[in-house]
Amino acid sequence: MENGETKTREQWLQQARTLSEALPYMRRYAGRTIVIKYGGHAMGEESLAKLFARDVVLLRQVGMIPVVVHGGGPQIGAMLEKMKIQSQFIDGLRVTDQQTVDVVEMVLSGSINKQIVSAINEAGGLAVGLSGKDANLIRADKLRRTKRDPESNIERILDLGLVGEPRAVSPHILDYFEESDIIPVIAPIGVGPNGETLNINADTVAGAVAGAVAASRLLLLTDVEGVKDKDGKLIPQMTPAEAQAAMEDGTIQGGMIPKVETCLHALKHGTDGAVILDGRVPHAVLLELFTEHGAGTLIKRTR
């Protein structure tokens, strides 16, 4: 019995030490905006989803201003398959026609968005779901990609349909939430020049939002540990110049390139630091913000 009491007392002391060590970081970020891109396995696993919701509520409770931007690629793919809607791909990019974008909006702005909102509310927070179409939060243009013909060396424009890229984010809309305890949860849907619905990559939206609100941190939750060097070791911190050089020399490649480019875009437009981290790690957001070693790769502006 005494051993059980001692063990419990030690656990309490450890919890108290953890909170005490986190205090300087809580003070550092108090009143600052943290934009979190939420997706991948972290969103798909129920236990991790509940932990994420609690962590977001905690950030708000200690005076930080979390803004959540979520993805939903696997869920969209599953719904398209269920509805027997076949997708065409060009160089690995889904061509989004009107039928497809209707499903995309239904899944992102509907079921996924409300699941996240409900989880945060159940954890004790006050969350509200939005899409980029609400109050013209995200105005977008159609995404244009080009491909060079290796034989003729002529570039041609690839038409990806109703796929967009942010042109302008209206930060004053998010200011209303900043003045309250409400946590905005944003689906990556934008409104085009003619009022059309455009599907936008969630990382890209998170970066654009972070830049528009001059966030203290942009956190991109992914399914990898972070940026790694050529030996496969995690790089804890980089400057924008180092990140750019790593893309040019091939250290950063594949799917990591657009994530790093998103981070650099956010930094260029006013975000203090951007982090690529593994959302599969429980409490990854808290580990990054409230500990000295962090939990991923921090790309930070030089002053």
Nearest-angstrom CA–CA distance, 22 and 66: 17
Regarding beta strands 155-169 and 138-148, do their DSSP bridges make them parallel or antiparallel, or are they unpaired?
A: antiparallel
Q: Residue 3: which pLDDT band, with cuts at 50, 70 and 90?
A: very low
Residue 111 lies in a domain: yes
Residue 284 lies in a domain: yes
> Comparing 293 with 221, which gets the higher pLDDT?
221
Q: Is the pLDDT of residue 231 over 80?
A: yes
Q: Is the pLDDT of residue 5 over 60?
A: no
Q: Is the pLDDT of residue 159 over 80?
A: no
Residue 235 lies in a domain: yes
Radius of gyration of the CA atoms of the chain, in A: 20
Strand partners, 164: 142
- Structure confidence at residue 146 (pLDDT): 67
- Structure confidence at residue 151 (pLDDT): 64
Residue 144 lies in a domain: yes
Is the C-alpha dihedral spanning 44, 45, 50, 56 positive or negative? negative
Residue 11 lies in a domain: no
Return the structure tokens found at 91: 């160089």
- Structure confidence at residue 175 (pLDDT): 86
Residue 187 lies in a domain: yes
- Structure confidence at residue 1 (pLDDT): 41
Q: What is the pLDDT of residues 259-274, one digit of tens each?
A: 999 999 999 999 999 9
- The domain in which residue 65 lies consists of 31-300
CATH, residue 108: 3.40.1160.10
Average pLDDT of the residues in 76-98:
81
Do you know the residue count of the chain?
Answer: 303
- Structure confidence at residue 136 (pLDDT): 93
Q: Is the pLDDT of residue 130 over 90?
A: yes
Residue 22 lies in a domain: no
Tally of structural domains, the chain: 1
> Comparing 302 with 100, which gets the higher pLDDT?
100
Owner of token pair 């995404």? 143
Q: What is the pLDDT of residues 18-46, one digit of tens each?
A: 677 777 777 788 889 999 999 877 787 88
For the chain, the average pLDDT equals 87
- Listing DSSP states for 41-104 in one string gives HHHHSHHHHHHHHHHHHHHHHTT-EEEEEE--HHHHHHHHHHTT---EEETTEEEB-HHHHHHH
Cα 84 to Cα 102, 104, 124, 164, 250, distances in angstroms: 14, 14, 39, 24, 39
Report the interhelical angle of 98-105 vs 73-82 (nearest 10°).
Answer: 120
In eight-state DSSP terms, residue 214 is T
- Structure confidence at residue 248 (pLDDT): 92
Burial 79-111 (b: 16+ CB within 10 A, else e): bbeeeeeeeeeeeeebebeeebbebbbebbbee
Distance between terminal CA atoms of the chain? 57
Closest to 170 in 3D by CA, of 117, 209, 198, 124 = 209
**276 half-sphere exposure, CB direction, 13 A CA radius:** 28
Q: Residue 2: which pLDDT band, with cuts at 50, 70 and 90?
A: very low
Residue 4 lies in a domain: no
Return the structure tokens found at 112: 């996924």
